[in-house]
Amino acid sequence: MAKRYTSDLTWNDVTPKEVFFNRRAFMAGGAALAAGTIGGPVTAQGLREGDTPNTFEEISSYNNFYEFGTGKDDPAKYASALTTSPWNVEIGGLVDNPGDYSFADIMEKMTIEERVYRFRCVEAWSMVVPWNGFELADLLNLAGVQDKAKYVSFETLVRPDEMWGQKRSFLEWPYREGLRLDEAMHPLTIMATGIYGKDIPNQNGAPMRLVVPWKYGFKSIKSIVKITLTEEEPLATWNMINPREYGFYSNVNPDVDHPRWSQASERRIGGGLFAKRIPTLKFNGYEEEVAGLYEGMDLTKNY
C-alpha cells in the first residue's frame, strides 16, 4: 500500500504567519528531512509565504458546481436544496467487494485528518483550504482493488428535482471524473468531508468530494455517488466537452497555457480585486511528492 502522508501543518499552524515560519525552522531540524523540503520556499504540504487559509465564508461562497448553475454565487444560493442524508456510494468494477457503501459506514471506518491544501482552479484563481477528510486509498482498499484495475472513475449524483442546473444542459450529466490508479492511491489524494472541522457545505460537494491538490480544481468532483475501477481510461466531463482545452491529466502546470489564457500565475480569492497575481507552481507546489508519477511522460502532450 502507498505510504501514508503525514500532515505537517494544520490551519492553526499556518495562521498567523510567524507561527508558520517558526514551524518551518523547527521542521528543518528533522521532519522536513524526511519530507524532502529543505532548501525550498515550499513546505511538505506545498504551502509557502502568503498561503494563509481562506476564510470559511470565502471557501463556501465562491464556487463552481454547475448542477446548481454556472454563476460563482449560484451554488451557495441553491445547494441547500440537496438532500445529503442518507447517502450511498456504489463502488464497483474491478473490486473484490462491490456494492453500496453508506456514507455513515464509511465515516466510521475511515481516519479523518485535517489537510491544508492549496487549491488552483483552471480559471486561474486559487484558494487555500483546510479540508477534513480521509485518504481515498483507504476507501479503495476497503473495496479491494483487483490487479487488472488501472483507473478509477467517479460520478456525481443526478437529481434534477434538487439540482436545478441538471434541467439544463450546461454540461452532460452526470458530472464525471477519472484518475489513474496510482494517482488515486497517492497519499495526497483525499475524499473531503469537511472544511475547518465542520461538515462540508453542500456547495462544496457534500457529503464527500474528491480533492487532488496537484491538479486543476475541476478534477475534484463533488457529491460522489459512484466509484468504478476500470482497465480503460474513464470519461471525464471537461475532457469530453472540450478535449483541446481540458486533458485527462489536468496537472497544474505554469508552462502549459490553457488555449485561451496563461496558466503562469493565479489570483488568490480574498486578496481583493487589485491583489498582485502570484506565480503558479508546477504541480501546484506538490512537485516533490508527485512528479515521480509522471516520469518519462511528455506533460505538454499529456496535459
Hey, what's the cell of 4? 501514508
Query: Which CB atom, from 220 or from 239, has the smaller least distance to ligand MTE?
Result: 220
DSSP codes, 192-255? EEEETTEEPPGGGTSS-EEE-TTB-GGGS--SEEEEEEESSPPP-HHHHH-TTT--SS-B--TT
Range in contact with ligand MTE (rule: CB under 6 A) among 80-88, 216-224, 245-253, 284-292: 216-224
Query: Which CB atom, from 186 or from 222, has the smaller least distance to ligand MTE?
Result: 222
Residue 204 binding ligand MTE, by CB under 6 A: yes
Which single residue brings its beta carbon nearest to ligand MTE? Answer: 217
Residue 2 CB coordination number (10 Å): 14
Show the site string, 42-81: x = touches ligand MTE by CB under 6 A, - = not.
Answer: ---------------------xxxxx--------------
Query: Which CB atom, from 144 or from 247, has the smaller least distance to ligand MTE?
Result: 247
> What is the C-alpha separation between 19 and 42, in angstroms, rounded?
15
Query: Which CB atom, from 37 or from 239, has the smaller least distance to ligand MTE?
Result: 239
Q: Which of 24, 115, 118, 222 binds ligand MTE (CB under 6 A)?
A: 222
Q: Quickly tell me which residue has 518551518 as its cell.
A: 24
Give, as ranges, the residues between 233 and 292 that touch ligand MTE (CB under 6 A): none
> What is the C-alpha separation between 93 and 212, in angstroms, rounded?
22
Amino acid identity for residue 279 in this structure:
P
Query: Which CB atom, from 31 or from 112, has the smaller least distance to ligand MTE?
Result: 112
Query: Which CB atom, from 66 or from 303, has the smaller least distance to ligand MTE?
Result: 66
Give, as ranges, the residues between 73 and 132 that touch ligand MTE (CB under 6 A): 121
Q: In angstroms, what CA-CA distances link 218 with 84, 91, 186?
A: 21, 21, 18
> What is the C-alpha separation between 186 and 4, in angstroms, rounded?
9
Residue 156 binding ligand MTE, by CB under 6 A: yes
Count Cα atoms within 13 angstroms, Cβ side, for 35: 26
Q: Smallest gap, in angstroms, from Cβ of residue 127 to ligand MTE?
A: 6
Binding site for ligand MTE (CB under 6 A): 63-67, 121, 156, 175, 204, 217-218, 220-223
